[in-house]
């Protein structure tokens, strides 16, 4: 029964003890001996009683208290914890629930466990440049699809479509994080990518014609620059590694008697979770006889130091991607012909097409494992250093022999 009306509330007198007047639907007016009147709500969510104050009268009028009561009852009916909802509203009023605040909280949480340092940095740069200036101060639970589309359209006009789609993806992750933590109800970026042109996928340029690969290898042999740089160029197609994994090689990682190079997981392209969860794991590169010979020729020059490929400006710093790129360009290969990151695609393609062991093609999974593409397994995404190892050893030697044949123009 509804017992309260605005005039009645104003006329309620205090007594020696505090008492309540019920309005219905879980709303009460509490009257204290001092004369203070305040609104209290009591309800049940998930089998447990929940209660909180809506504020004091007359600061909060009867109509306002009823409106808040109806909102809470509606949230309970929809399976939403009213306490969590009120906490989110409070955070929004204090600025803690703004898009930027939630985004930075999301970024800090996942950058610690999921992303590499460079990936984490790039995400934050995109948000600070393209999103925060437009919706960063808005309450995250009050942002509409049109607002996000306007922000994304600004990126589209720059022509950087890959940045656009990455930014949309990041924003969607932030909104879903807000939903999961009780600070938003919807993701206004849902299917937003369908309204924008997709970026054209660009692959690192590489050489796939066997005759041209042979010419490339002969040009590497004729390189007259720094000897560690020349060695790195010759090894690039042999070891099937990313440039950074090759450049930062340390002599302690090699066992030439076994013909193995064991690269610690912290130097590989992996999530921070993998690196911290499997700190003792490593990626094994079976070394062909040709690769061992190249390393042994270099060791008298740099073997007393830590790095296999120290830079000319200091033995404590490795050569850079730019150094290798300049060396390739000096040999006449432009960016559309050969990229320093293109050797892995060269290896994958030519091995699939041309390498046979006992008359059989190489299984694609063997190649992918040697390329250090981790796959799901019961231990997580860490490396399994023994999987396909006999096949990988044979493949790496057969690949090196094939490159020798191309270099000899056979």
Which residue in 36, 191, 356, 373 is the catalytic one?
A: 373
* Whole-angstrom distance, CA of residue 268 vs CA of residue 60: 60
CB 100 within 8 A of CB 85: no
CB 287 within 8 A of CB 394: no
Concerning whether 130 is annotated as a catalytic residue, the answer is: no
CB 140 within 8 A of CB 175: yes
Which residue in 104, 154, 269, 293 is the catalytic one?
A: 269
Concerning whether 373 is annotated as a catalytic residue, the answer is: yes
Place of tokens 């994304």: 152
Instruction: 369-374: list long-range contacts, CB under 8 Å, 24+ apart.
Output: 370/240, 370/285, 370/286, 370/395, 370/396, 371/240, 371/344, 371/347, 372/241, 372/242, 372/245, 372/268, 372/269, 372/283, 374/270, 374/274
Concerning whether 42 is annotated as a catalytic residue, the answer is: no
Concerning whether 356 is annotated as a catalytic residue, the answer is: no
Report the DSSP beta bridge partners of residue 49.
44
Which residue in 165, 230, 242, 339 is the catalytic one?
A: 242
Which residue in 69, 165, 183, 344 is the catalytic one?
A: 344
* Whole-angstrom distance, CA of residue 302 vs CA of residue 299: 5
Residues contacting residue 68 through CB under 8 Å, at least 6 positions apart: 39, 41, 54, 60
DSSP per-residue codes, 383-397: --TTTTHHHHHHHHH
Which residue in 333, 383, 392, 407 is the catalytic one?
A: 383
Q: Which of 302, 399, 207 is nearest to 311 (CA)?
A: 302
CB 406 within 8 A of CB 217: yes
Concerning whether 203 is annotated as a catalytic residue, the answer is: no
Which residue in 40, 275, 341, 381 is the catalytic one?
A: 341
* Whole-angstrom distance, CA of residue 27 vs CA of residue 134: 40
Concerning whether 352 is annotated as a catalytic residue, the answer is: no
CB 340 within 8 A of CB 321: yes
Catalytic positions, written as ranges: 242, 269, 341, 344, 373, 383
């Amino acid at each position: 029964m509804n017992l309260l009306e605005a005039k009645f509330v104003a006329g309620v007198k205090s007594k020696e003890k505090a008492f309540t007047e019920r309005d219905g639907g879980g709303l009460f007016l509490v009257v204290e001996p001092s004369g203070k009147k305040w609104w209290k709500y009591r309800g049940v969510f998930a089998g447990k009683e929940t209660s909180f104050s809506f504020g004091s009268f007359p600061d909060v009028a009867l109509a306002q208290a009823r409106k808040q009561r109806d909102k809470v009852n509606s949230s309970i009916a929809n399976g939403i914890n009213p306490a969590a909802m009120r906490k989110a509203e409070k955070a929004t009023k204090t600025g803690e629930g703004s898009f930027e605040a939630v985004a930075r909280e999301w970024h800090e949480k996942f950058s610690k466990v999921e992303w590499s340092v460079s990936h984490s940095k790039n995400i934050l740069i995109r948000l600070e440049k393209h999103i925060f200036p437009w919706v960063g101060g808005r309450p995250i639970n009050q942002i509409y699809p049109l607002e996000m589309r306007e922000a994304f359209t600004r990126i589209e006009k720059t022509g950087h479509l890959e940045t656009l789609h990455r930014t949309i993806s990041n924003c969607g992750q932030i909104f879903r994080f807000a939903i999961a933590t009780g600070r938003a109800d919807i993701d206004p970026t849902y299917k937003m990518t369908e309204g924008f042109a997709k970026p054209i996928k660009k692959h690192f340029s590489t050489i796939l014609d066997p005759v041209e690969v042979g010419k490339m290898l002969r040009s590497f042999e004729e390189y007259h620059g720094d000897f560690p740089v020349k060695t790195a160029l010759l090894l690039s197609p042999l070891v099937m590694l990313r440039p950074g994994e090759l450049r930062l090689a340390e002599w302690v990682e090699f066992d030439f008697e076994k013909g193995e190079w064991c690269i610690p997981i912290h130097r590989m392209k992996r999530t921070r979770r993998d690196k911290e969860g499997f700190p003792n794991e490593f990626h094994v590169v079976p070394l062909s006889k040709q690769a061992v010979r190249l390393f042994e020729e270099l060791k008298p020059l740099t073997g007393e130091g830590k790095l296999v490929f120290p830079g000319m400006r200091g033995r404590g710093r490795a050569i850079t991607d730019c150094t290798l790129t300049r060396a390739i360009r000096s040999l006449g290969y432009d960016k559309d012909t050969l990229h320093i990151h293109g050797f892995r695609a060269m290896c994958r393609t030519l091995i699939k097409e041309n390498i046979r062991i006992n008359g059989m093609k190489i299984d694609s999974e063997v190649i992918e494992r040697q390329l250090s593409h981790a796959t799901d397994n019961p231990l997580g995404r860490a490396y399994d250093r023994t999987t396909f190892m006999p096949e990988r050893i044979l493949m790496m030697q057969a690949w090196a022999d094939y490159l020798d044949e191309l270099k000899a123009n056979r």
